[in-house]
Structure 1
Amino acid sequence: MPCALDRSVPGLIVKIGDYPLHHGGVGAIRSLGRLGVPMYAVTEDRWTPAALSRYLTRAFVWPTTGSEQPERLVEGLLRIGRAIGRPTVLLPTDEEAAVLIAEHADVLAADGRFLFPRADPELPRRLASKQGLHELCAEHGVPTPEAAFPATFADVKAFAVSGRFPVVAKNREAFERREKPAVGGTTRIEGPRELLALAPSWGPRPGVVLQEYLPREHAEDWIVHAYVDSRSTPLALFTGVKVRSWPPHAGMTACAYAVDNKELAQMAAQFIKRIGFSGIVDLDWRFDRRDGRYKLLDFNPRMGAQFRLFENRAGADVVRAQHLDLTGREVPEAEQIADRRFLVENIDLPALLAYRRGGYTTPHAPAGPSGTELAWAARDDMRPFFTMLARCVRPGAAHLYQLWRARKR
């Protein structure tokens, strides 16, 4: 039975930066829009998939880069709020938007214009920071991969001499990855020579974390999505296993299954409670078979792009749970739908080819799905799918060509 949402309170998808092909925003528009909630979204232009969803009431075209002054971004949100004209639930789709909302909560919540979970205003920035998260994990006894945070090029050179390889390089801070990213995304570095070849482009103050690489043959990728109330109590919490990602083993989820994991759910809930977070979270964990521990890789203080993988038998996902809670309605308790599958059409094809070539499988993946949620295609809302195809044909063809060249060698 579907959740009974308050249709008088709209939702607004908030994003900072240029990434028009974001299926998480489309998923949130559909999730609430199908239940009659008016949906609005910040978009890069009028031809993004989100802007063309049948469930979107209005797209606010507002190109941003993440390098703007916070005051300008806040004023832009307030201007959108005035145009909507009634209290609106905010749904950030990236770390920068989540940090901005938390750090300017008093202004954004004035007069009840925007509704969003309230917590320590400094916490989302700390969680979005790889170094901040690493410190929180150490403080609360949560396993996490070993990591180094070089402050200078000399630190990088020292790591090249004494560090263990391979490592994974990631951008360290939110906002900095938009303004001056050190790496284009999660980047595996095989050895000292490769590290020293990359490091000069990072500048005198490298904004990277060099994180221990957990070998895929000894690891499993798990995800936790939750909505947590003002008392840091999960009102909806789901666990699943990632089967494929793109780029392989390091990038965005391409295929995943909902798999109940009570041990991991308890670990995540305890950590969230200890740090006092409130809102939607997307956590990436890796199970290291060598020592039998789940290690926290990323804590995203906002909805994950693949959140529609998860739904409980009462029809609640994390976005619906937040809307229900912030509008004073009860979030229905029920077990998660097991073996549900999520596929991202534009990246799963190259990911599938890459994983088959590598012979990698995920032991906890079900033999078959109980149902499949596609990121883009939906019978009742096909325009985002066709728009996605039109915008990604060229890069998609380039990826497939690269894979074909690799197989021919």
Structure 2
Amino acid sequence: MRWGDRGGLVASSAVPFAVDRSVPGLIVKIGDYPLHHGGVGAIRSLGRLGVPMYAVTEDRWTPAAQSRYLNRAFVWPTTGRERPERLVEGLLRAGRAIGRPTVLLPTDEEAAVLIGEHADVLAGEGRFLFPRTEPGLPRRLASKQGLYELCVEHGVPTPEAAFPGSYADVKAFAVSARFPVVAKNRDAFERRRRPAVGGTTRIAGPRELLALARDWGSRPGVVLQEYLPRESAEDWIVHAYFDAESTPLAMFTGVKVRSWPPHAGMTACAYAVGNKELAGMTARFIQRLGFSGIVDLDWRFDRRDGRYKLLDFNPRMGAQFRLFENEARLDVVRAQHLDLTGRPVPEAEQLADRRFVVENIDLPALLAYRRSGYTTPHAPARASGTELAWAARDDMRPFFTMLARCVGPGATHLYRMWRAKNR
């Protein structure tokens, strides 16, 4: 069937399901990070099905704002430090402008937490559609301390961690800890304020730890975590969508091959690889939590003890979600839209050995990984197909916009990130 002129259920010969294109999608971003390929991927994923797409953007010249599949960009610069009431009102203004029930698609923790904690207001008058979960759960999952406590409570393996409340606590930890350790910001929100550490930081010994801790203030906002040696570990990712009963309607697993900054940042290259054990662990954990919605989880398989350990839980879509599709051409964003609009979500096996590459960061990541000699024997030798984060034959403007914004300050920023990790 071709697209109808007035909305309603439509189907395409490319997908074996019907989508309700009378219900738009809205990409919700909080903070200043214009080069976000996940938002572009979501706009394309639903836009190609004829779903009207809208997005919150920093300005009119972000890659997302330039997509041919975007109906309108709501230019609304935010920092993440605004009062929640102001952010909620901004979303409601966007909803009034759209003028019909709209599926919300948060791309960061701040947005996911805001939606979860103000669900009643945002869902009022049928303005927005989104998965409903316990209001405080997204905040706990996005917090390193909250996630650690939930893992311990539910028996899910995770690296050992300490959460110092003072410099004295750091000193006590330094006496008994087994080094090296990893320092991370305790809460995702810290990156919008004054982060204690610039991302994941490996600390070799007590002297280095105490020197760093002097700059963390009287109440360090850090987690000191067990270091899992990369030569003895494998990085795995899980993306899934869970319905109102915490039943997985779409579940995908894959391996992270490269990240930027190396071994500690966002995914630069990954492969879709089936892993029933990991999928089962994820499903059981989320069913115990009672969570509903899209999730992006980072696991690390520790070859020393043969266990998968949960590192991060993002209660929203991941930037690399377009790595994953199943044989029904379903990804997690499409699954959520179908479910929230009352349409059946088809079951199918995930497409194996697909590759995802983020063009602007994978080249420096590849050079850094080759220099270090790190290999990923758990990744497929060949890809069955490659999904690029930015370039798409039917939507090239986001790619050229990304290139333009990477020149000058953008390129300098990438270089500084690399230098910071290789001092």
**TM band (smaller chain):** over 0.9
For residues 44-63 of structure 1, give each alpha carbon's deviation from its aligned partner in whole angstroms, at most 9, with x where no partner exists: 11111111111110010111
- Name the Cα RMSD after superposition: 1.7
Give yes or no for the alignment of 1:361 onto 2:375.
Answer: yes
Give yes or no for the alignment of 1:290 onto 2:304.
Answer: yes
- Give the conservation status (yes or no) of the 8 Å contact 1:14–1:92: yes
Distance 2:286 2:417 in 1: 41
Give 1:403 deviation, angstroms: 7.1
Unaligned stretches of 5+ residues in structure 1: none
Distance 1:211 1:133 in 2: 13
- Give the conservation status (yes or no) of the 8 Å contact 2:295–2:316: yes
Unaligned stretches of 5+ residues in structure 2: 1-13
For this pair of structures, how many residues does the alignment match? 407
Partner of residue 5 from structure 1, selected from 19, 28, 41: 19
Partner of residue 64 from structure 2, selected from 41, 46, 50: 50
Divergent runs of 4+, >4 A: 397-404
Distance 1:111 1:383 in 2: 36
Distance 2:158 2:371 in 1: 29
Q: Which amino acid aligns with 1:333?
A: E
Give 1:398 deviation, angstroms: 6.5
Give 1:401 deviation, angstroms: 9.2
Query: What secondary structure does 2:213 align onto?
Result: helix
- Give the conservation status (yes or no) of the 8 Å contact 1:282–1:302: yes
Partner of 1:309: 323
- Give the conservation status (yes or no) of the 8 Å contact 2:261–2:417: no
- Give the conservation status (yes or no) of the 8 Å contact 1:171–1:183: yes
Partner of residue 383 from structure 1, selected from 374, 377, 397: 397
Q: Structure 1 residues 401 and 323, CA, compared in 2 at 3 Å: closer, same or farther?
A: closer
Partner of 1:31: 45
Distance 2:257 2:189 in 1: 29
Give 1:119 deviation, angstroms: 0.9
Distance 1:17 1:302 in 2: 15
Q: Taking structure 2 as the reference length, what is the TM-score of the superposition?
A: 0.93
Q: Which amino acid aligns with 1:158?
A: A
Give yes or no for the alignment of 1:164 onto 2:169.
Answer: no
Q: Structure 1 residues 305 and 111, CA, compared in 2 at 3 Å: closer, same or farther?
A: same
For residues 196-246 of structure 1, give each alpha carbon's deviation from its aligned partner in whole angstroms, at most 9, with x where no partner exists: 222222211111111111000000000000000000000000000000011
- Range moving further from structure 2, 172-181 or 138-147: 172-181
Q: Taking structure 1 as the reference length, what is the TM-score of the superposition?
A: 0.97
Distance 2:73 2:202 in 1: 37
Partner of residue 396 from structure 1, selected from 405, 408, 411: 411
Give yes or no for the alignment of 1:117 onto 2:118.
Answer: no
Distance 1:113 1:12 in 2: 12
Q: Which amino acid aligns with 2:377?
A: P
Partner of 2:261: 247
Give 1:153 deviation, angstroms: 1.3
- Give the conservation status (yes or no) of the 8 Å contact 1:125–1:174: no
Distance 1:76 1:403 in 2: 36
Distance 1:218 1:112 in 2: 50
Give 1:113 deviation, angstroms: 0.3
Q: Which amino acid aligns with 2:382?
A: G
